[in-house]
Amino acid sequence: MNTLQIADYIVFFIYFFAVSAYGYYVYKKKKSATTSSKDFFLAEGSLTWWAIGASLIASNISAEHFIGMSGSGFALGLAISTYEWMSAATLILVAVFIIPLYLKNKIYTMPQFLSVRYNDSVSTVMAVFWLLVYVFVNLTSIIYLGALAISSISPVSFEWCIILLTVFSVVVTLGGMKVIGYTDVIQVIVLIIGGLVTTYLALSLLADKFGYDGNILQALGVLRKEAPSHFHMIFDKGHPHYPELPGMSVLIGGMLINNLAYWGCNQYIVQRALGADLKTARKGIIFAAFLKMLIPVIAVLPGITMFVLHQNGMFQKEMMDAAGTLKPDHAYPTLMNLLPAGLKGVAFAALTAAIVASLAGKANSISTIFSLDIYKKYFDKNASEKKLVRIGRWAVITAMVIAALVTPALKSLDQAYQFIQEYVGFISPGVLAIFLLGFFWKQTTAVAAMTGALITIPLSILLKVLPKWTNGSFPDYPFLDRMTITFFTVIVVMILMSLVKRDEAPKAFEVSKQMFKTTTGFKILSLIILGILAALYIIFW
């Protein structure tokens, strides 16, 4: 039932006051956060490696993981974990090859990179586009899924969930990046503990169902036996879910493009490391990679467990909508409603932590881009540090209010995780192409970058609709393969344009082999991660 007991409220309010009190403590401890724009937006020099790693994960994990990824686990199985496990490998690449470039060239925002490397026109076009995507896609989808999940496990209505999540997120965000970074440590601890509690419950139910008296180790064996099709990481072309996860493309194709764009060219992710020195940033990123490998345990495994339980006659009504249609995204909320008093409060706090941390991270990045790349550049070039911080705070409030007002329009979403991945994939190939050529090929011109930015979305849309327009004459590529095609098309177009019409003085970034050298400890930890990933893919191929 969607009710909370007194014990649940006690646990939740302990979490709420712990985050609020710690955030206030961090805010008061460093008063400069109220006057310095770099401190407010980047927490320059004050985030430790563990705060950076925790903040990366807290910003990344949200309702689309607990609800959406669990739903995809129900429908597709363990293969959906490739988004998490390949992210861990991608984070190593980002730490070695991308973060050093930002830090060496003193880059603080993604539009700033585009301005320095290309020109203000490319920067402004992408800044406006990023702001629109962050507000109308990222913020709205997180608020929607969060409100949907919380309203399904508590007596709070969907509308009030939207309001409360928005207000809580604004309060956390207004303290700046330092407050977000350190409160994210609490958020990550809570979401991992709460997630593990829910996973334990799911496996205990499965063990009881098959006569193993709550033995979760036996339950893991039952999962492999009862749902063998749900334990394959690589789908062949005959698999019904091949269009969502097309074979080897999840390793070397569209998945890599998607992850590199997300982890290496995304303001609200990269921002966590931009205020640190290289050694600290790399430690934080490698810590995030280890945490990332844990996410399928708390997000995907419950979904697979619910699939087996559903196949064996349990939760038939709970997994259906009002029209009698099976809804995979109901898996996680159904499990949470079964938790005993107190533990349900822990899971409830974990879900809230994931949502609020992700919203705060995105809102902070919106304020950063708007304040530094739009307001200061075009409205008040001489704006003081204090004024920029104030403008940033107003940007946070405005963005969250707009997103909250738009959120109810998303009620038609189904299997939200896959939906979000596909439509974010409309822009990722072009962004990655512009950044990679900007980093590593000094001949890339501003005209080529602008062209790449402008053709990415039309090309992505064209590849999606052509099969319907041609009645199947044009191949209907899976969306990850469409990303690969778009990426290489944009790369080729940009290279040809750069060769045909060269700038008089290319704005190359400073790049040297020395920048990419890593410590022995980093190499060892990277090899451990890659070894674990190799073992997982071999076992579950």
Q: What is the pLDDT of residues 325-358, one digit of tens each?
A: 777 878 888 887 787 878 788 877 877 777 877 7
The predicted structure's pLDDT at residue 37: 56
* Percent of the chain residues past pLDDT 90, beyond the cut: 18
**pLDDT tens digits along 118-157:** 888 888 888 888 888 888 888 888 888 788 778 877 788 8
Answer yes or no: is pLDDT of 457 > 70. Answer: yes
Answer yes or no: is pLDDT of 477 > 50. Answer: yes
CA distances (Å), 492 to each of 445, 495, 497, in order?
Answer: 13, 5, 9
Of 127, 232, 203, residue with least CA distance to 453: 127
Ramachandran class of 107: left when φ > 0, alpha when ψ lies in -120 to 50, beta otherwise: beta
Selected residue with higher pLDDT from 392 and 92: 92
- CATH superfamily, with its number, for domain 46-109+138-256+274-413: Sodium/glucose cotransporter (1.20.1730.10)
The predicted structure's pLDDT at residue 486: 94
Question: Of 175-184, 214-223, 257-266, 457-466, which gets the smallest average pLDDT?
Answer: 175-184
Q: Where residue 506 falls among pLDDT bands split at 50, 70, 90? A: low
**pLDDT tens digits along 218-231:** 888 888 888 888 99
Distance CA 128, CA 126 (A): 5
**Cβ-based burial of 155 (10 A; exposed 0-12, middle 13-18, buried ≥19):** exposed
The structure's pTM equals 0.84
**pLDDT tens digits along 376-403:** 888 888 878 788 888 888 888 899 899 9
Answer yes or no: is pLDDT of 323 > 80. Answer: no
C-beta atoms surrounding 323 within 10 Å: 6
Answer yes or no: is pLDDT of 36 > 90. Answer: no
Mean pLDDT of the region 170-195: 72
Answer yes or no: is pLDDT of 418 > 70. Answer: no
The predicted structure's pLDDT at residue 46: 60
For 278, residues 6+ apart whose C-beta sits below 8 A from its C-beta are 99, 100, 103
The predicted structure's pLDDT at residue 33: 45
Domain definitions of the chain by residue range: 46-109+138-256+274-413
Asked if 364 contacts 357 with a C-beta cutoff of 8 angstroms, the reply is no
- For residues 246-274, one letter each, b for 16 or more C-beta atoms within 10 angstroms of the residue's C-beta and e for the rest, the string is bbebbbebbbbbbbbbbbbbbbbbbbbbb
The predicted structure's pLDDT at residue 32: 47
The predicted structure's pLDDT at residue 410: 73
Q: Which two tokens stand for residue 512?
A: 């040297």
